[in-house]
Amino acid sequence: MTATTYRPKLFTPGDLNAFFGFGTNILVNMLVLTGLLRFVLKMPDALVFGRILPAAGLMMCLSTLYYARLAYKLSVETQRDDICALPSGISVPHMFVVVFVIMLPIKLKTGDPVRAWEAGLTWVFIQSFVLMIGGFIAPVIRRITPRAALLGTLAGVSVAFISLRPALEMFMTPVIGVPCFLVILASWFGGVRYGKGIPAGLVAIAVGATIAWGSTALGLGYGGMSGENLVKAFSNFGFSVPLPAFNHVFGGFDFLSVILVTAIPFGIYDLVEALDNVESAAVAGDAYPTTRVLTADGVVSLIGCCMGNPFINAVYIGHPGWKSMGGRIGYSAATGVMVIIMAWLGIISLMVALIPVVAISPILLYIGMLIGSQAFQESPKQHAPAIVLALMPHVAAWGKVQIDNTLAAAGTSAHAVGFDKLAQTGVLYQGLAVLGEGAILGGLILGAIAAFVIDRAFAKAAAFALAGAVLTFFGFMHSEAIGVGQMPAVAVSYLLTAVFLYGCAKLTVPSEAPQLMHEPHAQPAE
């Protein structure tokens, strides 16, 4: 059979399992997004369900259909039937950044939710072009960077920002969260199959919803379900299609100085995150072209923002997980169709009222567990310390976010409380801030330096240290803002590190490599 005659199946039984898993992942993100828009930004339902969610649905539908097509082409080219499409959707970290860093301050300043929405649109507009341009340099980064650094910083995101919150939510409502997690764990890790091939994700949701509504009937209130909220949800039913929002996109340029502070660094974050996720897929056996992936993210994000969606699209963490469930081509396309139906018909409102979020959280925890473990399983054993080092910036970033949110809820800030007072309680806030800012890039640089040092490739380690110095000097790492001369002390520390490592390269001979390195040196990720 030739590549031209081979036709892979568009939908397999495994796609159904992956569809419910990935579909519920998308669903929980949509539920969280809706909550942020309605309850944090206080946006009217007409704007949320009439403009933003339909545009977001269109963007995600275009994205998932494109990656299904890309998987189909790869399957034809390789004549393999086990190709899994890349998962994609609204970037979760960016969801919180654009809400709390961009839209909320502008909403509070102007008192106008429309102006806040416009600022979010402009933020995505700028990021989209960063992605499209950066797509042409990302393959170079991927070739020269050790796998431990790429997967290690991805594991950091997974542990800190994908896994922890769902885990905490589970144990805040353990009577729902723990049983749902056990359903997921038994099936996707333990190989347990439920009757008639029912997907584990669907079983988990059904179990969680049953417990939640049962507790409501008994007056216990686990999961926060109520008939009143369910009745209200039906008021948001209706057919809403996205409409062009060009005037609103350019209206947000009034806040350009605020937007650029985060739009460019997070655009770079997107590049590295997508690069990491493409690498993760390659490790799982599916080698996708990095430039096409990043360009596609930029294009669909641009289309989305021009239609009214203030959230960036991204390739998701989790390809190996969906592939292990049997996901191939169809799960991605099916998810895209599901999203656009739910967004355009106002079904998201009904889902919010029907399903407790804690019933869906275990699926995100599963993905975090899988990606965190992949970094260690798919990298050379001697690079384990480099992976742990790559994790550290993300742990610091998570800790800083928790402190900032706590103090903000109390009407104060770390600066107002005083760094010295916080240090006396064991909270090294300044350290968290420096280490945690630009965590994706910071984890990649530190992980790469450590991996090359372990391999005695000191010249390569020096090159990454020098890159760290440059990135830090311009504020892309270890700094809250981009600009010239940001964090000079940290930049100098990287520069001194580069000089030292370059000296090691000149003084050290390859034969001096330690005997404990039983495996071949790590090669740059291909």
pLDDT of 336 strictly over 60: yes
- Indicate the residue type of 228: E
pLDDT of 518 strictly over 70: no
Alpha-carbon dihedral sign for residues 118, 121, 127, 128: negative
Q: At what angle do helices 488-507 and 458-473 cross, to 10 degrees?
A: 170
Distances (CA, A) of 329 to 19, 24, 67, 68, 291: 10, 17, 8, 5, 20
- Mean pLDDT, to the nearest integer, of 463-492? 91
Residue 395's pLDDT is 93
Other C-beta atoms closer than 10 Å to the C-beta of 248 total: 21
pLDDT of 345 strictly over 70: yes
Interacting residues of 88 by C-beta distance below 8 A, sequence separation 6+: 60, 63, 64, 67, 297, 313, 314, 315, 316, 332
Residues 362-398: pLDDT tens digits?
A: 877 887 787 788 789 888 999 999 999 999 999 999 9
Task: Name the residue with higher pLDDT: 514 or 258.
Answer: 258
Residue 510's pLDDT is 55
pLDDT category of residue 455 using cuts at 50, 70 and 90: very high
- Mean pLDDT, to the nearest integer, of 147-166? 83
Phi-psi sector, 109: left (phi>0), alpha (psi -120 to 50), beta: alpha
Q: What is the rounded distance in angstroms from the CA atom of residue 454 to the CA atom of residue 471? A: 23
pLDDT of 181 strictly over 90: yes
Residue 262's pLDDT is 62
**For residue 402, how far is the Cα from the chain centroid?**
18
Q: What tokens were used for 40?
A: 């944090």
**Location of structure tokens 């107002």:** 416
pLDDT of 3 strictly over 70: no
Q: What tokens were used for 391?
A: 């994790």
Residues 254-311: pLDDT tens digits?
A: 888 777 766 665 666 677 777 778 888 998 889 998 888 888 999 999 999 999 999 9
Q: What is the rounded distance in angstroms from the CA atom of residue 193 to the CA atom of residue 207? A: 15
pLDDT of 19 strictly over 80: yes
Residue 380's nearest CA partner among 450, 464, 289, 277 is 450
- Of the spans 351-360, 362-371, 396-405, which averages the highest pLDDT? 396-405
Task: Name the residue with higher pLDDT: 517 or 78.
Answer: 78
Of 68-72, 114-118, 214-218, 321-325, where does mean pLDDT reach its minimum?
Answer: 321-325
Rg (C-alpha) for the chain, rounded Å, is 23
pLDDT of 506 strictly over 70: yes
Q: What is the rounded distance in angstroms from the CA atom of residue 262 to the CA atom of residue 127? A: 9
Percent of the chain whose pLDDT exceeds 70: 92
Residue 138 CA neighbour count, 13 Å, CB half: 30
Q: In 88-140, at which residue ranges do the beta strands (DSSP E only) sit?
A: 88-90
Residue 268's pLDDT is 66
pLDDT category of residue 93 using cuts at 50, 70 and 90: low
Residue 238's nearest CA partner among 348, 148, 104 is 348
Residue 488's pLDDT is 94
Distances (CA, A) of 26 to 90, 123, 129, 212, 514: 8, 22, 24, 21, 47
- Strand 88-90 relative to strand 313-315, pairing: antiparallel
Q: What tokens were used for 345?
A: 């018909």
Q: What is the rounded distance in angstroms from the CA atom of residue 366 to the CA atom of residue 318? A: 9
Taking all residues of the chain, what is their mean pLDDT, rounded to a whole number?
A: 86
The strand pairing partners of 67, in sequence order, are: none
Residue 321 CA neighbour count, 13 Å, CB half: 29
Residue 64's pLDDT is 95
pLDDT category of residue 525 using cuts at 50, 70 and 90: very low
Residue 420's nearest CA partner among 434, 435, 430 is 430
pLDDT category of residue 337 using cuts at 50, 70 and 90: very high
- Answer whether 322's CB lies under 8 Å from 99's CB: no
DSSP run (H or E) holding 187: helix 174-188
Residue 414's pLDDT is 92
3-state per-residue secondary structure call for 209-240: HHHHHHHHHCCCCCCCCCHHHHHHHHHHCCCC
Residue 4's pLDDT is 56
**Location of structure tokens 């998810």:** 335
Residue 131's pLDDT is 82
Q: What is the rounded distance in angstroms from the CA atom of residue 436 to the CA atom of residue 394? A: 6
pLDDT of 523 strictly over 60: no
The strand pairing partners of 314, in sequence order, are: 89
Q: What is the rounded distance in angstroms from the CA atom of residue 320 to the CA atom of residue 107? A: 39
pLDDT category of residue 228 using cuts at 50, 70 and 90: confident
Q: At what angle do helices 347-354 and 330-345 cross, to 10 degrees?
A: 100
- Answer whether 243's CB lies under 8 Å from 113's CB: no
Task: Name the residue with higher pLDDT: 234 or 428.
Answer: 428
Q: What is the rounded distance in angstroms from the CA atom of residue 267 to the CA atom of residue 289? A: 19
pLDDT category of residue 124 using cuts at 50, 70 and 90: very high
pLDDT of 445 strictly over 50: yes
Q: What is the rounded distance in angstroms from the CA atom of residue 233 to the CA atom of residue 57? A: 19
Residue 511's pLDDT is 46
Q: What is the rounded distance in angstroms from the CA atom of residue 167 to the CA atom of residue 464? A: 35
- Answer whether 311's CB lies under 8 Å from 54's CB: no
pLDDT of 2 strictly over 60: no
Q: What is the chain's length?
A: 526
